[in-house]
Chains A and B, each alone.
Chain A
Amino acid sequence: KNEVEQSPQNLTAQEGEFITINCSYSVGISALHWLQQHPGGGIVSLFMLSSGKKKHGRLIATINIQEKHSSLHITASHPRDSAVYICAVSLGNTPLVFGKGTRLSVIA
């Protein structure tokens, strides 16, 4: 059974700060997903990656397969980035297993 741990649980940042959210998992995976859940509850898929690094706008996701670790970075953070960020992993033919999420608040 794969355990997914995220850190920190809660994070408060000033606008403009560089933010890092971490995700560790216990068993080898085929893919890792980063999701964003806004205060209203809607969930958006940000990235799906199995190796290396992906970038979309101010968001960067990296994964280290050997260390079973992924990071989500937000550059030049903005209040609209305030949300819960969720890491999820899959073995390929198994359901997604989710972390508990990191609650980010960006203050102007």
Chain B
Amino acid sequence: NAGVMQNPRHLVRRRGQEARLRCSPMKGHSHVYWYRQLPEEGLKFMVYLQKENIIDESGMPKERFSAEFPKEGPSILRIQQVVRGDSAAYFCASSPLGYGTDTQYFGPGTRLTVL
């Protein structure tokens, strides 16, 4: 049973470009969470999705960031017009049931560097 997969593992973008981060949850998991870890800071919740639905996006920046989890395929975190401050590690996690009362399984992360 493959774990949570994220790709790419490392992504370099120039300011103003778009970044697309992909997350494939563990088999049988329909709940996906995205987190951001800024350098020397703790993990911060961004968004929680179930298939085709955004359940909680209270941690998403209001502009340039969007997330989806289509019926088929991976969850995508999209950052438009990236800026240097977006440089961070982005982790995806999945769980079979929802929210914090269930163990979440983390992917290896995508390290985004904005030049």
**Residues of chain A whose beta carbon lies under 8 Å from any beta carbon of chain B:** 30-31, 33, 35, 41-45, 48, 50, 86, 88-101
- CB contacts (< 8 Å) of B56 on chain A: these are 95
How many positions in chain B have a CB within 8 Å of any CB in the partner chain? 25
By Cβ-Cβ distance, the 6 closest A-B pairs, closest first, are A90-B100, A95-B45, A43-B106, A100-B42, A98-B43, A98-B42
Asked if A30 and B111 sit within 8 Å, CB to CB, the answer is no
18 contacts between A and B (CB under 8 A): A33-B103, A33-B104, A43-B91, A43-B93, A44-B106, A45-B104, A48-B102, A86-B42, A86-B43, A89-B100, A95-B56, A95-B58, A95-B99, A95-B100, A96-B43, A96-B45, A99-B42, A101-B42
Contact call A42/B43, Cβ cutoff below 8 A: no
Contact residue among B48, B58, B108 (Cβ-Cβ distance under 8 Å from A41): B108
Asked if B101 and A92 sit within 8 Å, CB to CB, the answer is: yes
Kindly list chain A residues whose C-beta atoms are within 8 Å of the C-beta of B89. 41
Interface hits, B26-72 → A, CB 8 Å: 33, 41-45, 48, 56, 58-59
B98 to chain A, nearest CB (A): 8
